[in-house]
């Protein structure tokens, strides 16, 4: 497989530094450059168009935002694969990116192991993921919103583990009975940690959530399945309940607030 050349367009120096470090020894993907100002991107593309295979870009940037950049690329007939990575997940913004045939939309903070997988899927399995793409990023965004509203801080490890676990349960009901034997090991593998640390981090995230979130919202999401006076939900109860919320209306996302 030919090495994939990726151009990173993001104003966060900390995030782009972590991307460069993650991929510096990767045999399949090379970070050819990083640009922090959207207004500089088109000139770079014009000078390196034959080398660039994919853009990894944010939406909110100084100089020129991601939507304007996608419009410039379209007007200049620049056809490159694009993965958008952004903490800005408003529905109308996602719909706008759809007009430009963005390959994937990943909500931040995004797991770099997952980013690597998405890049490889774009080039190796383009036809097989095209149908799932819209559902996948919509669901990821909804999970992100739900966890934020339920008081789970995005900076703790359990947040990312919960997000991945809920998404896996949403995509496969067969995993409901295999959370400890299948989901935890998969998450541990993705983040290069242990199963016990995954379980503890998720437990901590739920405890933080229970102390911070709005009681009325908790009651609306969990209903009578949890006794609020006696105990917090188990890891499994928390993840399964949220995945069920997402499934209530098939491809239409459940609006719970």
Q: Tell me which fold the domain 138-247 belongs to.
A: Arc Repressor Mutant, subunit A (1.10.10)
Contact partners, residue 124, CB within 8 Å, separation at least 6? 1
Rounded to 10°, the helix 91-98/133-149 angle is 160
Q: What is the pLDDT of residues 76-97, one digit of tens each?
A: 988 889 998 887 655 666 667 7
Q: Give the three-state DSSP class for 64.
A: coil
> Which sequence spans correspond to the domains of the chain?
4-130, 138-247
**What is the DSSP code string of 180-241?**
IIIIHHHHHHHTT--HHHHHHHHHHHHHHHHHHS-HHHHHHHHGGGS-TTT-PPPHHHHHHH
Q: For residue 188, give Cα distances in angstroms to 14, 152, 159, 177, 183.
A: 24, 20, 14, 18, 9
pLDDT value of position 10: 93
Do the Cβ atoms of 183 and 161 come closer than 8 Å? Answer: no
Paired strand residues for 34: 8
Backbone angles phi, psi at 57, to 5 degrees: -135, 155
Contact partners, residue 2, CB within 8 Å, separation at least 6? none
Taking 3-state DSSP, the helix, strand and coil percentages for the chain, each rounded to the nearest 5, stand at 60, 10, 30
Q: What is the pLDDT of residues 133-171, one digit of tens each?
A: 444 556 777 888 888 888 888 778 888 899 889 988 888
pLDDT value of position 86: 80
Task: Scan for tokens 């996948």, then name that residue.
Answer: 136
pLDDT value of position 241: 86
d(CA 151, CA 238): 13
Label residue 77 exposed, middle or buried (CB < 10 Å: 0-12, 13-18, 19+). exposed
Q: What is the pLDDT of residues 46-82, one digit of tens each?
A: 999 999 999 999 988 888 888 899 999 989 988 889 9
Q: Give the three-state DSSP class for 128.
A: helix
Q: Tell me which fold the domain 4-130 belongs to.
A: Rossmann fold (3.40.50)
pLDDT value of position 135: 47
């Amino acid at each position: 497989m030919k090495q994939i050349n990726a151009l990173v367009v993001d104003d966060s120096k900390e995030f782009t530094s972590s991307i460069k470090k993650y991929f510096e020894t990767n045999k399949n993907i090379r970070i050819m450059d990083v640009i922090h100002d959207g207004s500089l991107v088109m000139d770079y593309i014009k000078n390196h168009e034959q080398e660039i295979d994919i853009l990894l870009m944010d939406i909110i940037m100084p100089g020129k935002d991601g939507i304007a950049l996608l419009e410039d690329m379209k007007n200049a007939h620049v056809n490159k694969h694009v993965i958008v990575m952004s903490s800005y997940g408003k529905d109308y913004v996602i719909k706008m990116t759809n007009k430009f045939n963005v390959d994937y939309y990943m909500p931040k903070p995004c797991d770099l192991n997952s980013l690597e997988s998405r890049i490889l899927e774009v080039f190796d399995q383009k036809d097989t993921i095209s149908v799932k793409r819209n559902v996948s990023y919509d669901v990821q965004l909804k999970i992100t919103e739900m966890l934020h509203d339920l008081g789970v801080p995005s900076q703790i490890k359990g947040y990312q583990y919960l997000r991945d676990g809920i998404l896996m349960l949403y995509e496969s009901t067969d995993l409901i009975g295999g959370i400890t034997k299948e989901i935890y090991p998969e998450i541990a593998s993705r983040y290069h940690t242990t199963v016990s640390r995954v379980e503890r981090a998720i437990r901590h995230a739920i405890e933080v959530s229970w102390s911070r979130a709005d009681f009325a919202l908790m009651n609306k999401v969990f209903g009578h399945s949890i006794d609020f006076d006696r105990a917090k939900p188990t890891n499994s109860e928390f993840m399964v309940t949220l995945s069920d919320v997402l499934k209530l209306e098939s491809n239409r996302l459940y609006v719970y607030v």
